[in-house]
């Protein structure tokens, strides 16, 4: 009797005989993922830098999916479904933020040993990260320029630029609930960066002042605040890791490096949810 036949007859042994690839490979595409690393230097540290960056891109993809799911649910007045997506995104943001740990203690010498392999490459060129920022309301037409040479990616970003952000959908929900969100906020040009409005701050303050009457909206506001806090932590960790690895030198791809990241880190996400707290 062949060993393989004997094993297959054991009810505790999984099926080990597959034609071609395994069902796991067919679904996960692990072979594609684990062979997507093409190193451009001899430095052993480049592998962890490249893989960590690729992992970040996968988390960006998941977060875009979650926030688009939440936006669609809010548009259809399915607040519990939106909350589920936001709560999942919190755990995913925690995992994304942990991605900085392998890179957080790079010395300048260690980073410089493979930095030249990046050439003109820079994180600000990430299309999926840009879609993530657009969903948070941080929009800019100029950020489509690096993707002009990739028609599919450019079209996806152009579409995301023109659509309401996650926060825009939240404000539309508040308006449908009878809260006085200004018309100019609801009908604004969605291709532009969201700027804080005092009247929206007052709306959030009113929601938080009546936790019994506005319980669902308070829970939504807190979920959004959790997301905003974790995004701010991501930006802060990015700033610290970059400052540690390269100081104040100019970044790759023509970016301003630390100066650019400092500006980004100072920008609040969902701003009125933070300022309204001083009014309650």
Q: 147: annotated binding-site residue?
A: no
**Burial environment of residue 43 by CB neighbours within 10 A (0 to 12, 13 to 18, 19 or more):** middle
Q: 22: annotated binding-site residue?
A: no
Please check whether residue 86 is in contact with residue 231, taking contact to mean a CB–CB distance below 8 angstroms: no
Task: Output the CA torsion sign for 67, 267, 140, 129.
Answer: negative
Please check whether residue 143 is in contact with residue 193, taking contact to mean a CB–CB distance below 8 angstroms: no
Tokens of 249: 């030198």
Q: 101: annotated binding-site residue?
A: no
Taking the mean position of all CA atoms in its chain, how far away is CA 175? 27
Phi-psi region of 21 (alpha: psi -120 to 50; beta: other; left: phi over 0): beta
Could you list the residues known to form a binding site, using ranges. 115, 238, 252
Binding residues for heme: 238
Residues within the annotated binding site for substrate?
Answer: 115, 252
């Amino acid at each position: 009797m062949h060993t393989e036949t004997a094993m297959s007859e054991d009810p505790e042994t999984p099926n080990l005989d597959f034609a071609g690839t395994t069902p796991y490979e067919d679904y996960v595409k692990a072979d594609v993922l684990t062979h997507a690393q093409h190193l451009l230097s001899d430095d052993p540290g480049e592998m962890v830098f490249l893989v960590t960056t690729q992992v970040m891109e996968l988390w960006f993809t998941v977060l875009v999916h979650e926030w688009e799911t939440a936006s669609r649910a809010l548009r259809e007045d399915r607040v519990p479904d939106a909350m589920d997506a936001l709560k999942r995104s919190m755990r995913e943001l925690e995992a994304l933020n942990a991605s900085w740990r392998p890179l957080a203690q790079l010395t300048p010498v260690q980073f410089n040993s493979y930095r030249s392999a990046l050439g003109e490459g820079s994180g600000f060129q990430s299309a999926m990260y840009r879609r993530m920022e657009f969903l948070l309301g941080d929009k800019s037409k100029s950020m489509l320029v690096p993707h002009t040479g990739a028609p599919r990616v450019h079209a996806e970003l152009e579409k995301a630029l023109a659509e309401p952000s996650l926060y825009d959908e939240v404000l539309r929900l508040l308006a449908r609930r009878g809260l006085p969100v200004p018309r100019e906020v609801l009908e604004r040009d969605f291709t532009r960066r969201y700027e804080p409005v005092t009247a929206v701050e007052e709306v959030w303050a009113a929601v938080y002042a009546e936790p019994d009457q506005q319980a669902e909206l308070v829970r939504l506001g807190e979920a959004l605040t959790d997301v905003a806090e974790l995004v701010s932590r991501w930006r802060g960790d990015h700033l610290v890791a970059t400052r540690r690895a390269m100081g104040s030198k100019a970044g790759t791809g023509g970016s301003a490096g630390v100066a650019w990241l400092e500006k980004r880190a100072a920008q609040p996400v969902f701003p009125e949810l933070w300022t309204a707290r001083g009014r309650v």
